[in-house]
């Protein structure tokens, strides 16, 4: 049974409209070990002027959050004028040049994404990317193709056309393919078919994006809530402090529970007979933490301490066990 705590509003808790905190809205980014590793890898690719590479991992592993982090942080290192675009690859039953370039124009934010035939759209996209690349101090454009496992061979050939047109204009294009493990199968198929141009342009480098695998990974994530976040902006009130104001003032930190969180995940995996190595998709860890903050903090039961049973309830709510069990059935 949950224990009722003290609901008297503390003076050190900022007042904001109900349910407007980023923990409720999901509009926040916190670095993790894996995101930091990915950032360093992408930075090396950019520094070495690599034309492209693959980032792959299982679904809900945290790739989308990582991409948002890249969008926010790369300009700080390479300049605010660095053009970075995320293209959402749709499911294409058959490749269609007009549809493909229209989708790309829409995702880069071009006003006239639907006008004209395929060759006109391709030219419009090339000119847009060239203009943006030439306006940056490094004559560079970064294009991230999300859900890239949906791409067909013909799509890569059309991307090569764009790459060549930017190269002739002295603009360096780096294409980063992000998707599920099928991307590696696609690369193997291209190797078997001797598609050296596609591999050389877009698939030379690989990075396997992982979930949360160690206690240190969990600790880094929890420290983000404890010390490396703040809301409202300029308040210096971390997420943990906002939801546990009284306990936070007394020294409470989520990071001190990292071992217990890890052990509880492990225990629940064993009980559910989930095989394989320990790896938690980031979605489930963040949902677990958000449940703890909202349900056991000041806005919820407002407990006097955090217990293993409450951590277990949060993990159950995240859907992690059900998802892993379902994955093993398929």
* Ordered per-residue pLDDT tens for the chain, 330 residues: 344 444 456 767 899 999 999 999 999 988 899 999 999 999 999 998 889 999 999 888 888 888 888 888 898 888 888 999 999 999 988 999 999 999 999 999 999 999 999 999 999 999 999 999 999 988 999 999 999 999 999 999 999 999 999 999 999 999 999 999 999 999 999 999 999 999 999 999 999 999 999 999 999 999 999 999 999 988 999 999 999 999 999 999 999 999 999 999 999 999 999 988 899 999 999 999 999 999 999 999 999 999 999 999 999 999 999 988 876 544
Torsion angle of the four alpha carbons 60, 66, 72, 78, in this order, in degrees rounded to the nearest 10: -150
Rounded Cα–Cα distance for residues 12 and 9 (Å)? 9
The answer to whether the beta carbons of residues 53 and 176 sit under 8 Å apart is: yes
Is residue 285 classed exposed, middle or buried when 0-12, 13-18 and 19+ CB atoms within 10 A define those classes? buried
Residue partners of 151: CB distance under 8 A and separation at least 6? 89, 92, 145, 177, 186
The CA distance from 69 to 220, in Å, is 15
Angle (nearest 5°) at CA 113 between 108 and 117: 130
φ/ψ of 17, rounded to 5, equals -60, 145
In whole angstroms, what separates CA 67 from the centre of its chain?
A: 5
CB 140 within 8 A of CB 174: yes
Domains and CATH numbers, the chain: 33-208 (3.40.50.300), 213-329 (no CATH)
Res 3: pLDDT:
44
Q: Which two tokens stand for residue 97?
A: 């040049």
For residue range 100-142, list pLDDT tens digits in order: 999 999 999 999 999 999 999 999 999 999 999 999 988 999 9
Structure tokens at 323: 């998802």
The predicted structure's pLDDT at residue 168: 97
- ω into residue 232 within 30 of 0, thus cis? yes
Sheet holding 172-179, edge to edge: 84-88, 140-146, 172-179, 52-56, 205-208
Question: For residue 33, what are the contacts with CB-CB under 8 A and spacing of at least 6?
Answer: 216, 217, 220
Residue 165 CB partners (closer than 8 Å, separation 6+): 126, 130
């Amino acid at each position: 049974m949950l224990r009722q705590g003290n609901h008297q509003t503390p003076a050190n808790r900022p007042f904001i409209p109900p349910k407007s905190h980023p923990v409720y809205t999901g509009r926040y980014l916190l670095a993790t070990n894996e995101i930091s590793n990915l950032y360093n890898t992408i930075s090396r690719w950019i520094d070495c002027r690599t034309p492209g590479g693959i980032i792959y991992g299982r679904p809900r592993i945290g790739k989308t959050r990582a991409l948002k982090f890249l969008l926010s942080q790369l300009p700080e290192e390479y300049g605010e004028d660095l053009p970075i675009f995320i293209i959402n690859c749709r499911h294409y039953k058959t490749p269609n040049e007009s549809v493909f370039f229209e989708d790309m124009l829409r995702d880069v934010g071009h006003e006239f994404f639907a006008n004209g035939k395929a060759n006109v759209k391709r030219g419009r996209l090339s000119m847009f990317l060239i203009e943006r690349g030439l306006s940056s101090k490094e004559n560079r454009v970064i294009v991230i193709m999300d859900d890239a496992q949906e791409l067909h061979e013909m799509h890569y050939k059309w991307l090569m056309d764009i790459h060549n047109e930017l190269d002739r204009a002295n603009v360096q294009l780096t294409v980063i393919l992000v998707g599920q493990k099928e991307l590696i199968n696609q690369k193997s198929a291209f190797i078997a078919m001797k598609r050296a141009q596609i591999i050389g342009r877009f698939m030379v480098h690989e990075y396997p994006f992982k979930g949360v695998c160690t206690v240190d990974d969990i600790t880094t994530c929890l420290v983000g809530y404890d010390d490396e976040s703040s809301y409202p902006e300029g308040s210096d009130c971390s997420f943990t402090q906002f939801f546990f104001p009284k306990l936070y003032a007394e020294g409470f930190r989520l990071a001190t529970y990292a071992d217990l969180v890890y052990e509880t995940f492990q225990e629940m995996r064993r009980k559910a007979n989930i095989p394989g190595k320990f790896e938690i998709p980031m979605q489930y860890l963040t949902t677990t933490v958000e449940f703890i903050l909202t349900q056991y903090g000041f806005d919820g039961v407002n407990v006097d301490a955090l217990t293993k049973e409450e951590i277990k309830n949060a993990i159950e709510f995240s859907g992690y066990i059900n998802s892993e069990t379902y994955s093993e059935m398929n």
